[in-house]
């Protein structure tokens, strides 16, 4: 047996085979552990072989399936479904809100809802597949972006888009929501009204075309989103945002990423308060499976050509902790619903823990619905819609970049290089253009809760997230199937997002290991960044009319940005970290960018940079493509004095 030695490098442990001189990053399955082949189930062993000499030398929290690992198809489908379930509740809130605020008839609202919902799920699936395959290439789910709802309500409040008056009665929107709506309350209202729509007051006049009324409004929304997304593509392809990244350090990343989870805490509260018992049960089950039972292997049936039918032991509690917790908690809700242990009156605590509160959506959902570009007509554009959507787009870019860093950190790979960030931004813009063309009513962005879930499931395989994209598409096309998944009780959703958002916060804070925390400079910058990110958005939610520049579009843009906690906190940290004097060691920049260098000088994370390369064509691009194209792997970087570090023979990601 070969001698093994653990090397600890800034909280990362690598198993080194001294006799053979190989280096295996923990969480990565080496060629000696897994034979190369067709990717069958037997060729991939969860957690390694029981007799593997490296097993006892492994640290906790490994990636069972790394980004480049190919999971068996049947497991990829299950893991993909797990990620879809995490993001569905937040995604479906957007089409529910849109369909009830575009002046559709009472009798048409449910039909409009299921069509927009189906379209939105299909476009989210396309966006997820494109981003994980050709974009930043990290395991990230692309779901509905709530930031676009703020300019949507602002747009619908304009005189031009107010619902028409018929027979002295006004056709009103579904909810009394102001343009500066709190998105948590909006999502709450959308779900509550799903079964009891009494929003509109249409007259049956023959000269009134109700379809044209709501289609005209969604076409205006389409045009604004598409034009703003074109701008996002330009920002990504020209590398404008990537220039800023050369000045980003841990004191910028920590508040940016951590405030994602902190700012979304209201979503967890709104779902958990419906039935705290169910929410705590879900949280407890996730903790039990992912932390306490993670090393327990259970026998499961398997089959291959050599062994035929047999059993093998797998760590199913570790990889399927969330989906098992969902299934058990959902079952408890079903039992409580069947026994009438939960209240039947809408609005009472516990009502939304019932499993029959969203049956109307299941009944009205079509068996098959195939959306297509331009299905509502030709999109229209106005300055108001473009400016509003552009403000939301800038917020989405900032949030996504923070998610890229968080995801890389969770997956134990080096931070995304400039070309990957630029490509991710451009691909997100392209995906939002597709959303606008199809008429989904919204745009997409990266979902933080799914990133946090990777830390618990230890499944970061890109194939899993590609499968999640395909599941999204199938949910949109097969309406009944998608409707079933959207019926998850709210307290179950609350328990999941509580754990996931907590994981996102901790991922952001983990970057502090490179910073000198005993420095007064760093303490001041860090504390002020967090406080500004919490105080400014809270002030604006309490005082929606506080910003008045005299220009409605500018007011709207400033409100969208300043009500985004991660933007305020991240910008505060970015400015202070770059203007307050401090050495690179004190700021944590040197340690942050060189944390992959082992004791013997070998960059053990060198291979992780390859996860950002484009499939199939990267070797050709690196040989022949120009080095000045910001979104290609051949990109040589921005002109910066930091390139002189190469003289010190420092190999950076």
DSSP notation for 24-87? EETTS--TTTS--SS--GGGS-TT--TT-TTGGGPPSS--SB-TT----HHHHHHHHHHHHHHH
In 315-417, the DSSP E strands lie at none
Tens digits of residue pLDDT in 233-263: 999 999 888 778 778 889 998 998 888 888 8
Helix (DSSP H) and strand (DSSP E) numbers for the chain: 24, 9
Instruction: Let me know: does 498 contact 283? Beta carbons within 8 Å.
Output: yes
Tens digits of residue pLDDT in 516-527: 999 999 999 999
Tens digits of residue pLDDT in 142-201: 998 877 877 887 788 777 788 876 544 444 444 433 333 444 444 444 444 444 433 344
Instruction: Let me know: does 525 contact 580? Beta carbons within 8 Å.
Output: yes
**Phi and psi at residue 4, in whole multiples of 5°?**
-120, 150
The predicted pLDDT at position 524 comes to 97
Structure tokens at 262: 């902190």
Torsion sign across C-alpha atoms 463, 606, 247, 573 = positive
Give me the half-sphere count of Cα atoms (radius 13 Å) on the Cβ side of residue 402: 36
Q: Which residue ranges make up each domain of the chain?
A: 4-57, 276-338
Q: For residue 153, which of 190, 122, 207, 128 has the smallest C-alpha distance? A: 190
Tens digits of residue pLDDT in 466-501: 999 999 999 999 988 878 877 889 899 899 889 888
H/E element, 303: strand 298-304
Percentage of the residues of the chain whose pLDDT score is greater than 70: 78
Q: For residue 523, which of 260, 254, 261 has the smallest C-alpha distance? A: 254
Instruction: Let me know: does 169 contact 201? Beta carbons within 8 Å.
Output: yes
Strands 298-304 and 169-170: unpaired
Q: For residue 104, which of 195, 187, 215, 194 has the smallest C-alpha distance? A: 215
């Amino acid at each position: 047996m070969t001698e093994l030695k653990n090397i600890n490098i800034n909280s990362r442990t690598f198993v080194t085979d001294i006799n053979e001189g190989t280096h295996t990053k923990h969480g990565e399955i080496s060629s000696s552990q897994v034979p190369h082949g067709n990717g069958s189930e037997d060729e991939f062993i969860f957690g390694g072989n029981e007799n593997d000499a490296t097993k006892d030398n492994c640290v906790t929290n490994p990636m069972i399936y790394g980004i480049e690992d190919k999971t068996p198809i049947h497991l990829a489908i299950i893991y993909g479904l797990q990620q879809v379930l995490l993001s569905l509740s937040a995604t479906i809130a957007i089409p529910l809100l849109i369909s009830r605020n575009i002046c559709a008839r009472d009798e048409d609202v449910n039909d409009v809802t299921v069509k927009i919902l189906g379209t939105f799920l299909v476009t989210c699936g396309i966006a997820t597949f494109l981003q994980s395959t050709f974009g930043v290439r990290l395991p990230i789910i692309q779901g509905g972006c709530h930031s676009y709802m703020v300019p949507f309500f602002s747009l619908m409040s304009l005189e031009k888009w107010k619902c028409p008056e018929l027979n002295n009665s006004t056709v009103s929107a579904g909810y009394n929501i102001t343009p500066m709506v709190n998105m948590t309350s909006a999502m709450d209202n959308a779900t509550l009204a799903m079964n009891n729509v009494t929003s509109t007051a249409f007259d049956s006049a023959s000269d009134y075309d109700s379809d044209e009324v709501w289609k005209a409004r969604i076409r205006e929304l389409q045009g604004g989103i598409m034009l703003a997304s074109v701008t996002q593509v330009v920002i990504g392809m020209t590398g404008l945002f990537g220039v800023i990244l050369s000045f980003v350090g841990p004191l910028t990343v920590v508040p940016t990423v951590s405030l994602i989870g902190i700012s979304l805490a209201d979503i967890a509260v709104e779902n958990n308060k419906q039935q705290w018992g169910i929410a705590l049960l879900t949280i407890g089950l996730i903790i039990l499976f992912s932390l306490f039972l993670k090393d327990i292997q259970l026998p499961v049936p398997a089959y291959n050509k050599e062994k035929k039918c047999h059993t093998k032991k797998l760590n199913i509690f570790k990889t399927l902790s969330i989906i098992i917790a969902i299934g058990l908690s959902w079952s408890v809700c079903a039992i409580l619903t069947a026994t009438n242990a939960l209240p039947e009156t809408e609005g009472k605590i516990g009502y939304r823990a019932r499993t029959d509160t969203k049956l109307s959506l299941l009944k009205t959902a079509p068996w098959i619905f195939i959306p297509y570009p331009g299905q509502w007509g030709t999109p229209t554009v106005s300055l108001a819609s473009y400016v509003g959507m552009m403000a939301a787009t800038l917020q989405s870019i900032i949030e996504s970049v923070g998610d890229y860093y968080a995801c890389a950190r969770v997956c134990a790979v080096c931070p995304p290089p400039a070309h990957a960030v630029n490509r991710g931004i451009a691909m997100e813009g392209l995906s939002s253009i597709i959303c606008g063309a199809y008429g989904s009513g919204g745009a997409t962005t990266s979902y933080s809760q799914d990133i946090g879930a990777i830390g618990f499931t230890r499944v970061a395989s890109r194939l899993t997230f590609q499968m999640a994209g395909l599941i999204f598409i199938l949910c949109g096309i097969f309406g009944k199937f998608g409707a079933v998944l959207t019926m998850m009780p709210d307290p179950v959703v609350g328990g999941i997002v509580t754990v996931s958002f907590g994981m996102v916060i901790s991922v952001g804070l983990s970057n502090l290991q490179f910073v000198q925390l005993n420095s007064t400079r760093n303490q001041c910058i860090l504390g002020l960044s967090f406080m500004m990110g919490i105080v400014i958005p809270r002030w604006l939610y309490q005082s929606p009319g506080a910003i008045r520049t005299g220009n409605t579009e500018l007011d709207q843009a400033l409100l969208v940005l300043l009500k985004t906690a991660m933007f305020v906190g991240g910008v505060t940290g970015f400015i202070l970290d770059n203007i307050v004097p401090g050495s690179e060691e004190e700021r944590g920049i040197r340690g942050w960018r060189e944390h992959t260098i082992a004791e013997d000088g070998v960059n053990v994370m060198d291979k992780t940079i390859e996860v950002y390369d484009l499939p199939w064509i990267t070797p050709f691009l690196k040989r022949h493509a120009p080095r000045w194209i910001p979104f290609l792997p051949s990109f040589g970087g921005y002109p910066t004095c930091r390139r002189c570090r190469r003289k010190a023979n420092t190999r950076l990601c």
